[in-house]
Chains A and B, each alone.
Chain A
């Protein structure tokens, strides 16, 4: 068990980070912090992909024109994570734009206040 943790701590860490993000998303009343929670949740997954690509003793996947480069980290997950990060940024932007609009309409960023305001209407 200890050995497994020592060699695979990256995966364990990913699930901890994901849990933190999920908890923030559910428990925090502030809409902006909820969105930060979503970001944390996604970042955990990005780190997971990077960890998957790691090769013991491998170098960066830049292939020289001559000679044998030896073991290399897999480049595919890195490309995937880059794409996913871009998607994540777009999502954050749309989310923040929506929050700005909610703030303009209701004058609050807190979910519980928002629920009261909407119930009154």
Chain B
């Protein structure tokens, strides 16, 4: 009995169908979204784990939708690469729900969008058809725009619209590329395409030119979607203004899935032979990646808003991944995939930490993080661990990804890339160290001062600020510590749940165990992944070997 391939269509269809349930139940009951979503993602996580065990023991699992032959129909494929991404997607989507239970945002329609996003991401990672990939790109995009716009402030709608327009252009450019591929080869299936590709390369002529044009459109489209410099402008706004509960999901999964799609197209559809034989192609890809690393890191160093800083850091980390894709060596490819996974875990944790700190400590800018370690040791510890992992100090997730990419760049004799990786570590250290120094070595700014030091530049507006002042004057010198906690506990009932996550300094009770657990677990996984480099390499090795020996 081998019906394991039936899991593939279910993984895509179930979350999208379940997305209607919270809305339908919402007609009668108020708060069903979280329960329905948790049930669905947990079930899907179990199914994906089962699928993964089948894939990693017996090899690739495929399913033809509706029984159509793969030349015409849509094929879903789970191989070593896509299964790993699917597993990451569903595990992160389930884990972040622990944050959303108390951290918000709430509402049944929000959870409908969340399930839609999960379904789109799973579809994007499992599809084996280039046009189907466009559809999932747009499903993911639409769900992301809606989730970003679910923030409280008016800014979130503006940044969501900006993302919508740029994201649509990116997806449309990809669609043009798909059109060119179809003109040149007459098929849209990735595996068939990878079989045809050597013939087209050998023939040369018009069809090859069409494919080169297709690659150009696809690469620019994905550079926009993955947020490569200078096409990254939508990303910091979107990450900063999205609700605190949504940013971990978006930062960890959406760009990761897009980068996966780019890697899949470059290596399965076009293939290493096409990449290396086309003049200037690898040079351009590597240059775009390296520029993103340098520009993203530099911009991150000068940010004051912590969420924005992490957003620019994402631009840099994805630059590393894209540069690694451009190196076209086996080690670099595996390094890129490992870095994708590691970055997703670290950024989910860091953005969750930023959300927790905004609620429990009222801090959103780097300066406001002063004295965090003394007052909130657990969050501070988790954040510090994640930042250290992001810098790439071994053993950590950030280290193994960078290590394999660096080894790959040395194998490809692309010395500038190796230099950029080293430099990016220094720059990551620069902005991480700023935050670490504030958290551990700068004493807290006195909250009791009638005028809060520095601009309170949160979108919480005046309510949050006034709350701060009132609190401070009541407490006098005992502004921190246990008394503070007791006192504010009284206020929690009144204010904490009315305005999701916009409470002034000193509401530790607004943070649930789940929110804190997400940060700590992400930090632990980020460190543990550092020991699992060899295992991950072995898992992905069959995929890379197949790609390079075809």
Q: Which of B134-142, B339-347, B390-398, B504-512 contacts A (4 or more CB under 8 A)?
A: B134-142
Give residues of chain A (49-82) contacting chain B, Cβ–Cβ below 8 Å. 49, 52, 76-77, 80
Q: Once the chains bind, are B179 and A49 in contact (CB under 8 Å)? A: yes
Q: Once the chains bind, are B146 and A94 in contact (CB under 8 Å)? A: yes
Which of A76, A83, A94 counts the most chain B CB atoms within 10 A? Answer: A94
Interface status of A25 (Cβ within 8 A of chain B): yes
Cα distance, A81 to B416, chains bound together (Å) = 43
Interface status of B481 (Cβ within 8 A of chain A): no
Q: Once the chains bind, are B135 and A83 in contact (CB under 8 Å)? A: yes
Give residues of chain B (169-202) contacting chain A, Cβ–Cβ below 8 Å. 169, 172, 175-176, 179, 182-183, 188
Q: Which of B154, B158, B169 contacts A41 (CB 8 A)?
A: B169
Interface status of A99 (Cβ within 8 A of chain B): yes
What residues of A have a CB within 8 angstroms of the CB of B138 in the complex? 87, 90-91
Interface status of B49 (Cβ within 8 A of chain A): no
Q: Once the chains bind, are B175 and A45 in contact (CB under 8 Å)? A: yes
How distant is B489 from chain A, measured CB to nearest CB, in Å?
33
Q: Which of A35, A45, A95 contacts B176 (CB 8 A)?
A: A45
Q: Once the chains bind, are B175 and A84 in contact (CB under 8 Å)? A: yes
Q: Which of B155, B157, B172, B188 contacts A98 (CB 8 A)?
A: B157
What residues of A have a CB within 8 angstroms of the CB of B531 in the complex? none
Which residues of B are interface residues toward A (Cβ below 8 A)? Answer: 72, 131, 134-135, 138, 141-142, 145-146, 149, 154-155, 157-158, 160-161, 164-165, 168-169, 172, 175-176, 179, 182-183, 188
Interface size class of A (residues with CB under 8 A): 20 to 34
In the complex with contacts A25-B169, A94-B145, A118-B158, A48-B176 CB distance below 8 A: yes
What residues of A have a CB within 8 angstroms of the CB of B157 in the complex? 98, 101-102, 105
Q: Can you name 19 A-B pairs with beta carbons within 8 Å?
A: A22-B169, A25-B165, A38-B165, A38-B169, A41-B172, A45-B175, A52-B179, A52-B183, A76-B72, A87-B134, A87-B135, A91-B141, A91-B168, A98-B145, A98-B161, A98-B164, A105-B154, A118-B155, A118-B158
What residues of B have a CB within 8 angstroms of the CB of A114 in the complex? 158
How distant is A18 from chain B, measured CB to nearest CB, in Å?
8
What residues of A have a CB within 8 angstroms of the CB of B134 in the complex? 84, 87
In the complex with contacts A45-B175, A118-B158, A98-B149 CB distance below 8 A: yes
Q: Once the chains bind, are A90 and B142 in contact (CB under 8 Å)? A: yes
What residues of A have a CB within 8 angstroms of the CB of B145 in the complex? 94, 98
How distant is B181 from chain A, measured CB to nearest CB, in Å?
11
Cα distance, A76 to B160, chains bound together (Å) = 33
How would you classify the secondary structure of chain B's contact residues: helix, strand, loop or mixed? helix
How would you classify the secondary structure of chain A's contact residues: helix, strand, loop or mixed? helix
Q: Once the chains bind, are A101 and B182 in contact (CB under 8 Å)? A: no
In the complex with contacts A87-B135, A98-B157, A35-B179 CB distance below 8 A: no
Interface status of A29 (Cβ within 8 A of chain B): no
Cα distance, A51 to B134, chains bound together (Å) = 19
How distant is B97 from chain A, measured CB to nearest CB, in Å?
23
How distant is B210 from chain A, measured CB to nearest CB, in Å?
11
Which residues of A are interface residues toward B (Cβ below 8 A)? Answer: 22, 25, 31, 34-35, 38, 41-42, 45, 48-49, 52, 76-77, 80, 83-84, 87, 90-91, 94-95, 98-99, 101-102, 105-106, 114, 118
Q: Which of B72, B155, B182 contacts A77 (CB 8 A)?
A: B182
Cα distance, A36 to B19, chains bound together (Å) = 29
Q: Once the chains bind, are A80 and B142 in contact (CB under 8 Å)? A: no
How distant is B115 from chain A, measured CB to nearest CB, in Å?
16
How distant is B313 from chain A, measured CB to nearest CB, in Å?
24
Cα distance, A102 to B164, chains bound together (Å) = 14
Chain A residue nearest to B161 (CB atoms) is A98
Chain A residue nearest to B159 (CB atoms) is A98
In the complex with contacts A98-B164, A114-B158, A45-B179 CB distance below 8 A: yes
Cα distance, A114 to B154, chains bound together (Å) = 11
Chain A residue nearest to B164 (CB atoms) is A95
How distant is A11 from chain B, measured CB to nearest CB, in Å?
10
Cα distance, A42 to B141, chains bound together (Å) = 15
Cα distance, A42 to B138, chains bound together (Å) = 13
Cα distance, A77 to B176, chains bound together (Å) = 12
In the complex with contacts A45-B175, A84-B175, A94-B145, A52-B168 CB distance below 8 A: no
Q: Once the chains bind, are A94 and B165 in contact (CB under 8 Å)? A: no
How distant is B154 from chain A, measured CB to nearest CB, in Å?
4
How distant is A107 from chain B, measured CB to nearest CB, in Å?
11
- Apart from the given pairs A41-B169, A83-B135, A95-B165, 9 other A-B contacts in the complex at a CB distance below 8 Å: A31-B161, A38-B169, A41-B168, A42-B168, A76-B182, A94-B142, A98-B149, A98-B164, A102-B158
Cα distance, A49 to B131, chains bound together (Å) = 12
In the complex with contacts A48-B176, A106-B154, A98-B160 CB distance below 8 A: yes
Which of A25, A35, A101 counts the most chain B CB atoms within 10 A? Answer: A101
Cα distance, A77 to B181, chains bound together (Å) = 12
